[in-house]
Structure formats: C-alpha cells, structure tokens
C-alpha cells in the first residue's frame, strides 16, 4: 500500500516567475521518496538497511534555494537530451541546429535551462505522481513543440519512472533521472565499499571532452568489465581509473531487463536498476569537490555518490550507428526505469 501526500516546498524567485513548488511524498512499507514539481527532482529517497533502519540514500538539499542555484543536476530529470552532444550541433532534414554550450565545447543535459530547471504541472495518482510540461518549439535550440510526461510510481520496494513524449517536429530526445546515490546514506564519505555489476558487454570510449569517439569497445579484459560484481574502490585502484563517466551499451530491446546491481555490504542495502533504455551512464561523482552544502549540512566530496543514468547513447544524434534518438511527429517516446531496493 502506497500513500501519496503533497505539500508546499517553496516559491520560485520572482525573476523565475515566482511559481509555487510542491513536494510529493510517496511512501510504502519499505521506501519513502520525496519528489519536487521543480525539475521532477527526487529530493529524498529513504530505504531500509538489514536492521530495518531507514536512511536517505540520495544527495540533495534541504531547501528550494539549493536546487535553484547551480548544482550538478542532483535528483533531476534532464532533457531534452541527456548527456553530451558534440559542439552542441546536429543536422536534421538538411537544417543545422546549434545548442547552448554548457560543458566545455559541448552541450550537456539539455543546455542552459533544461528540464531540470523548470516547473512542471503535477497530477496525483493512486500510488504516485505524474508531471507534465510543454517544451516549446525552439526551446534551448531544439525543434518542435514537445509534450512530456514523467510519472513516478511506488509499489512496495520498487520505484518506477516512466517517460513519455510527443513532438510536432522531428527532434532528438533522451530523458533520464540524474539521482546521486550512496547506499551508506547521503553525506557518507565515499562509495568505495559498494559492490557494483553492470550487464554490458561493451562501452563507449570517450575523448578528453567526454564525447564518444564512435568506437563501440568490448569490456572484456578492461576496467570496464563490470559483468561480475566488483568492489568499487579496489577496482578503481587496480585499473588506475580516476572514476567512471561512461556509457555502457545495454542489450537492445523494448523489454524490461535488469541492467545493474549495487550492493553495500556494511548495511546490506541493495539497489537494482531495470530499464527499457539502450544505454546506462555510470558516473562516480568525479566532479563533486566538497564545496556544496547538502542535506543536514553534509558536504559531498569526490566519489561520495554514484549515478546510474538510463538513457540513449551520448551524441547519438551525430552517430548514425548508435541507437535511434529521433522522435518523429505521430510517434510516442516511451521508456521506463525501475529502481528496486532490498537488503541482503
């Protein structure tokens, strides 16, 4: 049985239109999640350890001000296109589009004001909440009026996130949630003692601006082979890796499949990621530097969280051999990701 509660969380600054931001609290016996109408942000996600103790396992802020200031997309839905587009450029039907460059020479997570920085219209459901917005033609340089629905549903130990969209013109689209997890509890120092596995036989090597080179490389015999569980800290040391910020290429298909599993031995917390998406960006919080004051005055140093962002492959709009990222008029974009929490 899931209960859903809505309450005020704050008001947008006057220069941002001053709209009211609401918080939606979804609660089952084993999971409690708080989601904001600003950016569809997962602000809190509490789950039990093996002794039945709840802890909040996502990074974020106590107040709206934290989220309206610059931060690394904590808990937010990012779009129109998650991840990076090289030089912020792509061509469609003979026309070139130029996006805002907000990540060195590239466009990242939708540009200057992506889906993470806007108010969405909420609708309470029996066991969740659905958010809607219309992204107008030309917003952040993207073509077409894009209608977008993001639905969060909590059922027992499972949080489902469904993304649907329709466009009036052909447009690239790739939506994901950018939650930062630490199964020891947010504010814990690092994620080195987490054990992770990712069901991917290949990954995308990147250049020094984090854009895929175009090669689809086998993980076999590399530090990217996470098909069997590895202890993260030891693994990074063994392969002399600074961290991960890479797309793992998942088995293609529209069906739900288990793509990643994270286990935290000290607490027994386990998180599984299931999805219909073709890619999974594994990111180990390499750019966190301890400068942000998070929930409960916690600081978030480097490697103090991980992200498992289910999405299309980065820069797919410029790579014909990557999975199709284009949504045409009359079609529907529809993907779901399920996060399943348990203890071992």
CA 109-114-119 angle, 5° bins? 140
**Percent helix, strand and coil across the chain, each rounded to 5?**
10, 45, 50
Dig out the tokens for 340 from the structure.
Answer: 């399943």
Dig out the tokens for 45 from the structure.
Answer: 């996600």
Q: Is 46 a catalytic residue?
A: no
- 3-class DSSP state of 266: coil
**How does DSSP assign 179-191, residue by residue?**
--B-TT-TT-S-S
Is 178 annotated as contributing to ligand binding? yes
The answer to whether 36 touches 44, Cβ cutoff 8 Å, is no
Give me the tens of pLDDT residue by residue for the chain, a chain 344 residues long.
Answer: 999 999 999 999 998 888 999 999 999 999 999 999 999 999 999 999 999 999 999 999 999 999 999 999 999 999 999 999 999 999 999 999 999 999 999 999 999 999 999 999 999 999 999 999 999 999 999 999 999 999 999 999 999 999 999 999 999 999 999 999 999 999 999 999 999 999 999 999 999 999 999 999 999 999 999 999 999 999 999 999 999 999 999 998 889 999 999 999 999 999 999 999 999 999 999 999 999 999 999 999 999 999 999 999 999 999 999 999 999 999 999 999 999 999 99
Is 189 annotated as contributing to ligand binding? no
- Name the helix (H) or strand (E) containing 21: strand 20-27
Is 83 annotated as contributing to ligand binding? yes
Is 162 annotated as contributing to ligand binding? no
The answer to whether 66 touches 92, Cβ cutoff 8 Å, is no
Annotated catalytic residue within 109, 178, 235, 303: 178
The answer to whether 249 touches 313, Cβ cutoff 8 Å, is yes
CA 167-170-174 angle, 5° bins? 75
Q: Is 238 a catalytic residue?
A: no
The two beta strands, 77-78 and 176-177, are: antiparallel
Is 179 annotated as contributing to ligand binding? yes
**Is 3.30.420.40 the CATH number for 3-343?**
no
Is 84 annotated as contributing to ligand binding? yes
pTM comes to 0.97
Annotated catalytic residue within 22, 140, 272, 309: 309
Residue with tokens 């498992």: 308
The answer to whether 314 touches 211, Cβ cutoff 8 Å, is yes
């Amino acid at each position: 049985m899931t209960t859903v509660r809505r309450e005020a969380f704050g008001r947008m600054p006057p220069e941002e239109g001053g709209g009211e931001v609401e918080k939606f609290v979804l609660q089952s016996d084993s999971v409690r999640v708080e989601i904001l109408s600003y950016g569809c942000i997962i602000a809190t996600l509490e789950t039990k350890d093996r002794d039945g103790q709840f802890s909040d396992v996502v990074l974020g802020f106590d107040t709206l001000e934290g989220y309206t200031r610059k931060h690394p997309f904590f808990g937010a839905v990012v779009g129109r296109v998650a991840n990076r587009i090289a030089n912020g450029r792509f061509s469609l039907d003979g026309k070139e589009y130029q996006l805002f460059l907000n990540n060195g020479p590239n466009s990242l997570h939708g540009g200057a004001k992506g889906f993470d920085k806007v108010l969405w219209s909420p609708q309470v459901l029996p066991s969740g909440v659905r958010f809607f917005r219309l992204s107008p033609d030309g917003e952040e340089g993207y073509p077409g009026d894009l209608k977008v629905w993001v639905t969060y549903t909590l059922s027992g130990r499972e949080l489902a996130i469904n993304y649907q969209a329709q466009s009036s013109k052909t447009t690239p689209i790739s939506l994901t949630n950018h939650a930062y997890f630490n199964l020891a509890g947010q504010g814990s120092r690092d994620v080195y003692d987490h054990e992770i596995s990712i069901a991917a036989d290949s990954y995308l090597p990147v250049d020094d601006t984090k854009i895929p080179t175009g090669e689809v490389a086998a993980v076999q015999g590399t530090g990217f082979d996470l098909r069997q569980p590895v202890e993260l800290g030891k693994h990074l040391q063994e392969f002399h890796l600074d961290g991960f910020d890479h797309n793992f290429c998942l088995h293609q298909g529209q069906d739900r499949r288990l793509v990643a599993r994270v286990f935290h031995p000290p607490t027994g917390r386990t998180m599984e990621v299931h999805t219909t998406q073709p890619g999974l960006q594994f990111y180990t919080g390499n750019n966190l530097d301890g400068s942000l004051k998070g929930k409960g005055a916690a600081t978030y140093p480097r490697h103090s969280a991980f992200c498992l962002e289910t999405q299309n492959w980065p820069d797919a709009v410029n790579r014909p051999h990557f999975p199709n990222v284009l949504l045409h008029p009359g079609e529907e974009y529809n993907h779901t990701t399920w996060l399943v929490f348990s203890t071992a």
